[in-house]
Chain A
Amino acid sequence: MARRFAMAIDLKTCVGCAACVVACMNQNESFGYSRCRVTEHVMGVYPDLRLEIFSERCNHCEIAPCVPVCPTGASHYSAHGLVEVDQRKCTGCRACVAACPYDARFPGRDGTASKCDFCEPLVHQGREPACVAQCPTRAMVFGDVNEARSEIRRLLDARKARVRKPEAGTRPHVFYLEARP
């Protein structure tokens, strides 16, 4: 079976330190242009409130709305199912920015569309994405979900997980492992 890379983030151990944000900027040499963000949300109804912290980035959706709207084919799926941008073909028209339900794309400093690529150059070397490697609480796990013995597959099978905006029908590949059983 073809490899399918994904990321799982444990909501129980993510403390929202934003080390992933700093690691991303450092890896991509783009200070001020991080490709991920940390958001804190207050959930529930008073007095039963709880705080949830999400480390967000491109979800590398299986049905990515940003791919079909691209007028030049710059946005495309890689062989491993990742959503990539061919910078050579990107005109910077921002159609993909408009199409992304997660606001995970933005115009980069060079004018083309920028977004998280799961640190593809590192992954090709067999390494983890920078944000995963730098996470101090090891809340983030990256791997091949089609590999039965991978840690991410084991976690997704054992734990309850959710995705951002499931109603969008995009089948994201960034999973959030529930803090509560």
Chain B
Amino acid sequence: MTPETFQLAAESGMRCCATFWGLDIAFELFLAGLAGGLMVLPRAAQTRRWSLAALALAGLTLFLHLGQKSAVLWFYASWQPQAPMWWGAWLFALSIAVLAWWERRPNAGWLRVAAAMLGAGLILYPGFMLGMLAARPAWHPVWTPISFVVLSLGSAAALLVLLDPRFRGRLAWSAPAAAILAICFATRAVILFSGQG
């Protein structure tokens, strides 16, 4: 038994923002991880349009989430390397640019390397963004980044199976792959909500 109890009895005035990042951010993090995973896995060249589409949708979701959309360019007009979200904003923009360029020059090997490096960043930054917040102990500084990396690679591998013509129409492969995609999204959402409220 603890020697002292501390129980909230009443509250008035400023309300806690119970859910500051909702399902839209869970979806955005899922898409960013999926795109990042596709960019680092071996079949990145064949799936770069999927990566591009996922990133564009993730970027749009993030933009729509912002409370003051007119300030979005400050992400790129500021120097805030200590903020994971600043890295995320740059990773989004650079990844979209590199993927679009790679689409036009498919034989450029250095673009493949650049895409893989940016993909690794996209896989890593959301976990660090959450894990660095000491005020939210549910987002563990080590396990959150690790779980986000696993979920990103898992969702990308599942999408690769779904896209592979060898497995098309084979329910024994496509059904588990679709289930893994759904689980990766749901797990991200659970992790995101576990640190709030």
Contacts and interface: CB of A to CB of B under 8 A. Distances in A.
- Chains A and B are bound partners: yes
Interface of A: 16, 18, 20-21, 24, 33-45, 51, 56-57, 65, 68-74, 87-95, 97-101, 103-108, 110-113, 168
B141 to A, nearest CB: 13
Contacts, number: 151
Interface stretch (B69-77, B107-115, B177-185): B69-77
A68 B67 contact: no
B67 A112 contact: yes
B12 A37 contact: yes
Interface string B12-43: 11111100110000000000000000000000
Given A34-B13, A69-B133, A72-B75, 19 more contacts: A16-B10, A18-B12, A20-B13, A21-B14, A37-B11, A38-B11, A51-B9, A56-B14, A65-B135, A71-B80, A71-B89, A72-B78, A73-B79, A91-B71, A94-B67, A97-B17, A101-B135, A111-B67, A111-B68
Interface of B: 1, 3-17, 20-21, 65-69, 71-72, 74-75, 77-80, 82-86, 88-89, 129, 132-136, 195-196
Given A43-B5, A100-B135, A21 B12 contact: yes
Nearest to A110: B68
B32 to A, nearest CB: 14
Contacts of A168: 134-135
A37 B10 CA distance: 10
28 contacts: A24-B13, A37-B15, A38-B10, A39-B8, A39-B10, A39-B11, A40-B10, A40-B11, A41-B6, A42-B9, A70-B80, A71-B88, A71-B89, A72-B77, A74-B71, A91-B67, A93-B67, A95-B129, A97-B20, A98-B21, A98-B133, A98-B135, A98-B196, A101-B135, A105-B17, A111-B67, A112-B68, A113-B67
Given A39-B10, A89-B74, A44 B17 contact: no
Contacts of A99: 133, 135
Nearest to B83: A71
Contacts of A40: 8-11
A106 B79 CA distance: 24
Contacts of A74: 71, 74
Interface of B is mostly: loop
A53 B132 CA distance: 31
A111 B135 CA distance: 22
B5 A44 contact: yes
B66 A111 contact: yes
A18 to B, nearest CB: 5
A98 B12 contact: no
B14 A69 contact: no
A177 B22 CA distance: 38
Nearest to B88: A71
B14 A72 contact: no
Nearest to B79: A73
Contacts of B75: 71-72, 91
